[in-house]
C-alpha cells in the first residue's frame, strides 16, 4: 500500500500539499468577501490537483494524472468561474450576516482541526498506521469536513452554502487521493461530473431564490416552519 | 431475460423523459409518461417473480439485481404508476404552469429513472451517485411551481441532503480504505467485497464508517434528527411529487442503509449498528408524534407521517431477525400505497378549498362524499388501524422487536403509535366534522383524481386482509439473503 512504503521526499510533498489545502480553508473562514472564498476554493482545488499528480507519479497510478488534469479544469477553473458568475449576477460581494467574527471563526476552526487530529490519531493507532501519512490525510479529511459544516452553520448567503458543501467535497477528495489512490477511476470521474451538475443546479436555484423571494440569505427563508 | 427487463425499464423511462421534454403539447407528454409508468410496472412485476433472491450481477460486476432491490423497485413502480395517473388531473389544475407541463412530466420520468437506477447498483459508490442524482432531479420538481415557498423548500432540501450525502461519501471512502488492508490497494468496490472485508477489519474504523453512512443516507431517508428537509419538500411540491418522494424515494435511500447493515453481519459491531438504527427510528417516531399533534398544514401532517413510517421501517430493520426484517419490507409497500392515497386526497382537498391549512378544510364528507370517504379510509390505514396492511406490518415489526436485543423500543414504539393514531385522526376529525366552512368548495373531481385513490385503498385493504403466503415466503427469502434468518 502506498502509505507504507513512501520515500521521505514524497511524504513531505504530500504533507505540504495537504497542509496548504487546510490553510486555504482557513482563508475562507477568515474572510467576509465572497470572492475571496471562491479564489481560495480555486487555489485549494489546484493544490488537490497537484496532489493527485504527485500521488500518481510516486505511487505509479497513471490514471491519477487524468484525474489531476480534470480536477484542475473542473474544480479549479470551471466551478470557480460558475460561482463568480452567480456572485456577479446577484451583486453580493460580501457575507453580511455571519454569526461570528472572523477571528472567532478562525479559533473555532483551529479547535476543529485539533479534534480531527485526535480522532485521526486514535484511529491510526488502532489501525497500526499511526506513524504514516495516513494520519495527516485523515486529519485533513475530517477537518475540511468539519470546517465545511462550520461554514454552512455560520454563514447565511446562498453562495456561502454552496462553498461550504464544496469544501466538504474537497476534503473527501483530498483524503481519498492519499488513502485510496487505487479507488476505481470510473467512480472518481463520475463524482467530478456529479459535482458539476450539483453546482449548476445550485446556481439555478439561487437565481430562482433571488427572483422569487428577493433574498439569498437563509436567515430570511422562514416561511416554512413546524 | 432478467437483464433485458431491467434495461427495458431504464430505456423506456429515459425515452419518456426525453420525449416529454421535446413534446410540444402537455397532453402528449402526460400520455408518454403514463405509458412509461405502465410498462415499468409490468416489467417490475415480472422481475418480482423472476429474480432469484440472492441476486445476479452483470456488466462487469457493476450491476446487481436481487430480491431486495426488486422489492424496492416494485414499491417505486406502484407509486410511479398511481402518481402518473393522478398527475394528469392534478397538474391540469395549475393553469399558470400550462406551458411548462411537458417539462414537469419529463422531470417526473427522469426522477423515476434515477430511482430505478439506484437499487440495481452493485457498486456502493455508484449507488451514492444515483441517490445524489435523485436529489438533483427532485429538487426541480419540488420547486416546480416557482412560488416562494416551493423555491425555499427546494433550496433547503438540496442543501441539507447534499451535506448529509457528503457524510455518506466519506463513509464509503473509509469503507474502501478499510478494504485495502485486506485485499490490497486496488479491488472491485461492490457490496459483496465490502461484506467480505468487514469481518477482517478493525471494528473502530468499521463503526465510524457505518455511522457516517447511516447519518448520510439517514438524512435522505428522513430519519430524525436529520429529517428537517422532509416536511418542507413534501408539503411544497405538487401532490404527485409528494407521493413519489414519500412512497418511492425514501425507500430507495433506506435500501442503502440496509445494505450496509447487511455488510456488518458477523462482525463484532453488528449489534451496535442495529441498535444505532433502532435509536434513530425511535427518535423519528417521537419527533413525528410531537409535530403531528400540533400540525396546522395538511400536507405537512402527511409529511411527518412519513417521518413516522420511516422510523417504523428503521425500527424493523434495526430489530433484525426474520420478523423484524419481513415486517419492515412489508411495511415499505404498505406505506408507499397508503401514503400515496393520503397525498392524493390532500392534493384534491387543498385545491378544492384553496388552502393548505387544516383550519380551512371543513366538512369534507358533505361536499365530497366519495373521494372524502376514500381519503378518510386512507387516514385510518396510514395510522396503522386494522384491517389495513400497515396494521399487519407494524404488528410484525413489534413482534420482531420483542425477540430482539432492544425490547425497550417495542414499548416506545407502541405508545408513540397510539399517540400518532390519536393526533393524526384528530386532525381528520376537524377536517371532516368541524363547523361549516364560510366558503363552500366548488370543484368536480374527475376519474383520474379518484381512480388512483380507489386502487391504492383496495391494494392496502387486500394486503391487510390476507397476507399471501407467497409474499411472506418471498420476503422471508429476502430477509435470509440480508443475513436476518
Of A214-223, B29-38, B398-407, least confident by mean pLDDT is: A214-223
Test B152 with A194 for CB contact under 8 angstroms: no
Q: Closest-CA residue in chain B for A214?
A: B148
pLDDT band at B255 (very low <50, low <70, confident <90, very high): very high
Helical packing angle, A102-127 and A134-154, nearest 10°:
150
Closest approach of B447 to chain A, Cα-based (Å): 33
Of B151, B163, B296, the CB nearest to A165: B163
Q: Which residues of A touch B187 (CB under 8 A)?
A: 182
* Chain A, chain B: beta-carbon pairs less than 8 Å apart: 134
CB A87 within 8 A of CB A35: yes
Burial class of A4 by CB neighbour count within 10 A (0 to 12, 13 to 18, 19+): exposed
Of B153, B167, B188, the CB nearest to A224: B153
pLDDT band at B418 (very low <50, low <70, confident <90, very high): very high
Q: Closest-CA residue in chain B for A148?
A: B163
Segment B135-140 shows an average pLDDT of 94
Other CB atoms closer than 10 Å to residue A70's CB: what's the count? 17
Closest approach of A216 to chain B, Cα-based (Å): 10
Q: Which residues of A touch B232 (CB under 8 A)?
A: 224
Q: Which residues of A touch B143 (CB under 8 A)?
A: 205, 208
Closest approach of B284 to chain A, Cα-based (Å): 15
pLDDT band at B436 (very low <50, low <70, confident <90, very high): confident
Of B139, B148, B205, the CB nearest to A205: B139
Test A226 with B291 for CB contact under 8 angstroms: yes
pLDDT of A97 over the 70 cut: no
pLDDT of A96 over the 70 cut: no
pLDDT for position B434: 81
Residue A55, phi then psi, degrees to nearest 5: -65, -40
pLDDT for position B316: 97
Of B140, B151, B291, the CB nearest to A209: B151
pLDDT band at A159 (very low <50, low <70, confident <90, very high): confident
Encode pLDDT of B366-408 as tens digits.
Answer: 999 999 999 999 999 999 999 999 999 999 999 999 999 999 9
Encode pLDDT of B308-335 as tens digits.
Answer: 999 999 999 999 999 999 999 999 999 9
Test A224 with B176 for CB contact under 8 angstroms: no
Closest approach of A218 to chain B, Cα-based (Å): 9
Of A116-125, B39-48, B128-137, B428-437, least confident by mean pLDDT is: B428-437
Encode pLDDT of B290-301 as tens digits.
Answer: 999 999 999 999
Chain B touched by A56 (CB under 8 Å): no
Q: How far apart are the first and last CA of chain B?
A: 29
Closest approach of A173 to chain B, Cα-based (Å): 9
pLDDT for position B95: 78
Q: Closest-CA residue in chain B for A177?
A: B173
Test A208 with B146 for CB contact under 8 angstroms: yes
pLDDT of A95 over the 80 cut: no
* C-alpha cell read off for A89: 449576477
pLDDT band at A187 (very low <50, low <70, confident <90, very high): confident
Between CA B104 and CA A204 the distance in angstroms is 16
Test A123 with B231 for CB contact under 8 angstroms: no
Segment B211-221 shows an average pLDDT of 97
CB B479 within 8 A of CB B329: yes
* C-alpha cell read off for B136: 438533483
pLDDT of B87 over the 90 cut: yes
Closest approach of B297 to chain A, Cα-based (Å): 9
Between CA B464 and CA B51 the distance in angstroms is 25
Number of helical (H) and strand (E) elements in chain B, helices listed first: 20, 2
Of A175, A206, A226, the CB nearest to B173: A175
Q: Is the dihedral of CA A154, A160, A165, A170 positive or negative?
A: negative
pLDDT for position B485: 67
Closest approach of A144 to chain B, Cα-based (Å): 11
Of A1, A123, A184, the CB nearest to B180: A1
Chain B touched by A225 (CB under 8 Å): no
pLDDT of A99 over the 80 cut: no
pLDDT of B48 over the 80 cut: yes
Closest approach of B219 to chain A, Cα-based (Å): 15
Chain B touched by A150 (CB under 8 Å): no
Encode pLDDT of A20-58 as tens digits.
Answer: 999 999 999 888 888 899 999 999 999 999 999 999 999
CA Rg value for chain B: 21
CB B413 within 8 A of CB B286: no
Of these ranges, A190-204, B116-130, B356-370, the one predicted with the greatest mean pLDDT is B116-130
Cis-peptide, bond into residue B225, ω within 30° of zero: yes
Test B136 with A197 for CB contact under 8 angstroms: yes
Closest approach of A64 to chain B, Cα-based (Å): 13
pLDDT of B303 over the 80 cut: yes
Segment A158-180 shows an average pLDDT of 91
pLDDT of B243 over the 70 cut: yes
Q: Which residues of B touch A223 (CB under 8 A)?
A: 148-149, 152
Q: Which H or E run contains B36?
A: helix B26-50
Strand locations in B147-197, DSSP E? none
Q: Which H or E run contains B197?
A: helix B191-197
Chain B touched by A182 (CB under 8 Å): yes
Q: Which residues of A touch B162 (CB under 8 A)?
A: 165, 198
Global confidence as pTM: 0.95
Closest approach of A182 to chain B, Cα-based (Å): 5
Closest approach of B224 to chain A, Cα-based (Å): 14
For residue B121, give the DSSP letter: B
Q: Closest-CA residue in chain A for B182?
A: A1
Going by their DSSP bridges, the two strands B63-65 and B56-58 should be labelled as antiparallel
CB A181 within 8 A of CB A61: yes
Test B154 with A205 for CB contact under 8 angstroms: yes
Chain B touched by A26 (CB under 8 Å): no
Other CB atoms closer than 10 Å to residue B339's CB: what's the count? 30
pLDDT of A218 over the 80 cut: no
Segment A173-201 shows an average pLDDT of 86
Q: Determine which of A183, A194, A197, A210 to mutate to test the interface with B (most B C-beta atoms within 10 Å).
A: A183
Q: Closest-CA residue in chain B for A1?
A: B185
**Of the candidates B427, B479, B448, B431, the residue with the CA atom closest to the CA atom of residue B37:** B448
Q: Which residues of A touch B132 (CB under 8 A)?
A: 194, 198
Segment B46-61 shows an average pLDDT of 90
Buried b / exposed e over A5-30, threshold 16 CB at 10 Å, is ebeeebeebbeebbebbbebbbbbbe
**Of the candidates B293, B275, B279, the residue with the CA atom closest to the CA atom of residue B418:** B293
Encode pLDDT of B178-203 as tens digits.
Answer: 999 998 888 989 999 999 999 999 99
pLDDT band at A189 (very low <50, low <70, confident <90, very high): confident
In the Cβ-directed half-sphere of B277, how many Cα atoms lie within 13 Å?
36
pLDDT for position B37: 98
Segment A113-123 shows an average pLDDT of 96
**Of the candidates A152, A205, A14, A165, the residue with the CA atom closest to the CA atom of residue A75:** A165
pLDDT band at A5 (very low <50, low <70, confident <90, very high): confident
Of A123, A172, A209, the CB nearest to B166: A172
pLDDT band at A1 (very low <50, low <70, confident <90, very high): low
Test A187 with B208 for CB contact under 8 angstroms: no
Chain B touched by A12 (CB under 8 Å): no
Of B147, B189, B297, the CB nearest to A187: B189
Q: Which residues of A touch B176 (CB under 8 A)?
A: 176, 180, 183
Amino acid at each position: 500500500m502506498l502509505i507504507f512504503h513512501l520515500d521521505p521526499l514524497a511524504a513531505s510533498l504530500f504533507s505540504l500539499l495537504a497542509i496548504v489545502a487546510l490553510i486555504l480553508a482557513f482563508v475562507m473562514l477568515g474572510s467576509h468577501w465572497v470572492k475571496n472564498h471562491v479564489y481560495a476554493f480555486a487555489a485549494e482545488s489546484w493544490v488537490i490537483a497537484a496532489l493527485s499528480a504527485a500521488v500518481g507519479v510516486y505511487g505509479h497510478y497513471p490514471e491519477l494524472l487524468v484525474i489531476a488534469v480534470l480536477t484542475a479544469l473542473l474544480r479549479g477553473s470551471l466551478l470557480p468561474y460558475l460561482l463568480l458568475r452567480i456572485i456577479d449576477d446577484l451583486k453580493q460581494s460580501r457575507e453580511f450576516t455571519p454569526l461570528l467574527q472572523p477571528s472567532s471563526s478562525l479559533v473555532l476552526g483551529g479547535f476543529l482541526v485539533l479534534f480531527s487530529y485526535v480522532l485521526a490519531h486514535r484511529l491510526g493507532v488502532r489501525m497500526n498506521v499511526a506513524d504514516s501519512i495516513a494520519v495527516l490525510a485523515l486529519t485533513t479529511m475530517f477537518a475540511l469536513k468539519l470546517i465545511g459544516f462550520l461554514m454552512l452553520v455560520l454563514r447565511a448567503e446562498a453562495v456561502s452554502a454552496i462553498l461550504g458543501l464544496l469544501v466538504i467535497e474537497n476534503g473527501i477528495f483530498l483524503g481519498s487521493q492519499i488513502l485510496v489512490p487505487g479507488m476505481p477511476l470510473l467512480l472518481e470521474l463520475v463524482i467530478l461530473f456529479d459535482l458539476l451538475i450539483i453546482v449548476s443546479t445550485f446556481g439555478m436555484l439561487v437565481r430562482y431564490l433571488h427572483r422569487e423571494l428577493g433574498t439569498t440569505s437563509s436567515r430570511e427563508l422562514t416561511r416554512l416552519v413546524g | 431475460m432478467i437483464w433485458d427487463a431491467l434495461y427495458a425499464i431504464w430505456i423506456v423511462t429515459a425515452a419518456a423523459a426525453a420525449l416529454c421534454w421535446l413534446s410540444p403539447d402537455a397532453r402528449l407528454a402526460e400520455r408518454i409518461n403514463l405509458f412509461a409508468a405502465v410498462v415499468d410496472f409490468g416489467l417490475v412485476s415480472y422481475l418480482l417473480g423472476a429474480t432469484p433472491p440472492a441476486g445476479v450481477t452483470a456488466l462487469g460486476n457493476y450491476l446487481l439485481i436481487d430480491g431486495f432491490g426488486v422489492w424496492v423497485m416494485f414499491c417505486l413502480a406502484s407509486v410511479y404508476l398511481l402518481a402518473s395517473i393522478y398527475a394528469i388531473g392534478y397538474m391540469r389544475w395549475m393553469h399558470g404552469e400550462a406551458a411548462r407541463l411537458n417539462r414537469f412530466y419529463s422531470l417526473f420520468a427522469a426522477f423515476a429513472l434515477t430511482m430505478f437506477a439506484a437499487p440495481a447498483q452493485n457498486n456502493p459508490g455508484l449507488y451514492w451517485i444515483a441517490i445524489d442524482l435523485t436529489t438533483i432531479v427532485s429538487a426541480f420538481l419540488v420547486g416546480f411551481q416557482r412560488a416562494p415557498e416551493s423555491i425555499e423548500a427546494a433550496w433547503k432540501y438540496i442543501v441539507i441532503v447534499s451535506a448529509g450525502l457528503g457524510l455518506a461519501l466519506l463513509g464509503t471512502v473509509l469503507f474502501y480504505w478499510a478494504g485495502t488492508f485486506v485485499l490490497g490497494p486496488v479491488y472491485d468496490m461492490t457490496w459483496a467485497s465490502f461484506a467480505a472485508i468487514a469481518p477482517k477489519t478493525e471494528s473502530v474504523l468499521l463503526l465510524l464508517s457505518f455511522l457516517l453512512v447511516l447519518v448520510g443516507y439517514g438524512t435522505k431517508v428522513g430519519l430524525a434528527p436529520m429529517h428537517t428537509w422532509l416536511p418542507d419538500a413534501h408539503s411544497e411540491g405538487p401532490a404527485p411529487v409528494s407521493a413519489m418522494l414519500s412512497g418511492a424515494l425514501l425507500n430507495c435511500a433506506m435500501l442503502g442503509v440496509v445494505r450496509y447493515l447487511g455488510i456488518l453481519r458477523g462482525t463484532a459491531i453488528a449489534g451496535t449498528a442495529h441498535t444505532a438504527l433502532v435509536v434513530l427510528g425511535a427518535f423519528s417516531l417521537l419527533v413525528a408524534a410531537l409535530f403531528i399533534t400540533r400540525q396546522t398544514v395538511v400536507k405537512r401532517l402527511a409529511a411527518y407521517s412519513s417521518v413516522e413510517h420511516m422510523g417504523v421501517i428503521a425500527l424493523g430493520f434495526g430489530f433484525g431477525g426474520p420478523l423484524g426484517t419481513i415486517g419492515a419490507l412489508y411495511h415499505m409497500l404498505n406505506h408507499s400505497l397508503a401514503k400515496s392515497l393520503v397525498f392524493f386526497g390532500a392534493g384534491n382537498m387543498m385545491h378544492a378549498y384553496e388552502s393548505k391549512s387544516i383550519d380551512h378544510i371543513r366538512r369534507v364528507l358533505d361536499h365530497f362524499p366519495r373521494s372524502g370517504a376514500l381519503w378518510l379510509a386512507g387516514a385510518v390505514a396510514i395510522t396503522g388501524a386494522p384491517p389495513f396492511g400497515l396494521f399487519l406490518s407494524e404488528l410484525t415489526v413489534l413482534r420482531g422487536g420483542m425477540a430482539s436485543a432492544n425490547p425497550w423500543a417495542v414499548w416506545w414504539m407502541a405508545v408513540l403509535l397510539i399517540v400518532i393514531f390519536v393526533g393524526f385522526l384528530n386532525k381528520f376529525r376537524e377536517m371532516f366534522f368541524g363547523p361549516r366552512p364560510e366558503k363552500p368548495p366548488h370543484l368536480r373531481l374527475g376519474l383520474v383524481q379518484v381512480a388512483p385513490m380507489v386502487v391504492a385503498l383496495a391494494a392496502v385493504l387486500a394486503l391487510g386482509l390476507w397476507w399471501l403466503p407467497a409474499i411472506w415466503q418471498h420476503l422471508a427469502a429476502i430477509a435470509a439473503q440480508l443475513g436476518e434468518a
